[in-house]
């Protein structure tokens, strides 16, 4: 399980985001990282019970590096202010739509997944599916269980009607999405609770039908 020390390290890192401080506090980072790795291993073990393609996935391949890619960023802070991992076949580089976990202090930790920065071809496929069979997606994301748990949506919409569709289309708001990523936010108290791994696994089970829908749409039928 995570502890308050893990969150405190991330808070301190946000306030001292430079290489000198990081190297001076390397031991604290190693302890915080080890705690996050243990959490991710517990989550991966639980997910493998209902997601067969994760059975041989290594936890080290799920966790993202804490170093930021600053090559094209105006913000030159060298480190992320959170720990993160993606749980997919083979790890974070599965090439599919995976469960994404981010641990960040101040009640900003999240679990989520979905369509994020799709290719043009994927977006065309998504809209065609909504036009042809909107009930499939809505039967997943409009259930009370899904909506109550994933009550945050992150995703840009086009301002105008997408090309090829009419403004009076019954599902025009879904068709406008360029991204459709659902997430659940956790408090710091929830993150350091003993049963947090089980809570994440429960959240993944709720999210799984939506990720399956998109993976089947974009990859399994390609």
Report field, pTM of the whole predicted structure over 0.85: yes
Q: What pLDDT shows up at residue 1?
A: 83
Overall number of domains in the chain? 1
Q: What pLDDT shows up at residue 220?
A: 82
Q: What pLDDT shows up at residue 106?
A: 97
Q: Which stretches within the chain are classed as H helix?
A: 4-15, 19-24, 26-47, 120-132, 134-141, 144-149, 172-175, 188-191, 196-215
Residue 72, pLDDT above cutoff 90? no
Residue bearing tokens 């039908």: 209
Range of the domain at 179: 4-220
Q: What pLDDT shows up at residue 34?
A: 97
At 208 the three-state DSSP class reads helix
Residue 67, pLDDT above cutoff 60? yes
Q: Taking residues 35-51, what's their average pLDDT?
A: 96
Residue 91, pLDDT above cutoff 90? yes
Give residue-wise pLDDT tens across range 147-198: 999 999 999 999 999 999 999 999 999 999 999 999 999 999 999 999 999 9
Q: What pLDDT shows up at residue 73?
A: 86
Q: What residues does 109 pair with on adjacent strands?
A: 186
At 37 the three-state DSSP class reads helix
Share of the chain above pLDDT 90, in %: 95
Give residue-wise pLDDT tens across range 3-27: 999 999 999 999 999 999 999 999 9
155-162: long-range contacts (C-beta < 8 A, 24 or more apart)?
155/114, 155/115, 155/116, 155/179, 155/180, 155/181, 162/127
Q: What is the mean pLDDT of the chain?
A: 95
222 band by pLDDT with thresholds 50, 70 and 90: low
135: Cα within 13 Å, side-chain hemisphere: 0
Q: Taking residues 106-121, what's their average pLDDT?
A: 96
Domain containing residue 59: CATH number? 3.30.930
Residue 103, pLDDT above cutoff 60? yes
């Amino acid at each position: 399980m995570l502890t308050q020390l893990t969150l405190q390290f991330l808070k301190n890192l946000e306030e001292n985001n430079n290489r000198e401080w990081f190297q001076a506090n390397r031991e604290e980072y190693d302890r915080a990282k080890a705690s996050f790795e243990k959490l991710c291993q517990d989550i991966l073990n639980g997910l493998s019970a209902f997601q067969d393609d994760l059975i041989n996935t290594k936890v080290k391949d799920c966790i993202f590096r804490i170093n930021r890619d600053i090559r094209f960023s105006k913000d030159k802070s060298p480190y992320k202010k959170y720990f993160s991992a993606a749980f997919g076949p083979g790890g974070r580089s599965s090439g599919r739509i995976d469960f994404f976990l981010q641990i960040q202090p101040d009640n900003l930790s999240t679990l989520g997944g979905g369509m994020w920065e799709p290719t043009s071809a994927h977006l065309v496929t998504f809209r065609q599916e909504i036009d042809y069979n909107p009930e499939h997606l809505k039967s997943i994301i409009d259930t009370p269980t899904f909506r109550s748990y994933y009550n945050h949506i992150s995703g840009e919409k086009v301002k105008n009607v997408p090309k090829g569709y009419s403004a009076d289309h019954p599902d025009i708001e879904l068709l406008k999405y360029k991204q459709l990523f659902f997430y659940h936010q956790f408090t710091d108290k929830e993150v350091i609770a003993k049963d947090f791994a089980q809570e994440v696994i429960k959240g993944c089970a709720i999210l799984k039908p939506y990720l399956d829908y998109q993976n089947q749409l974009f990859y399994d039928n390609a």
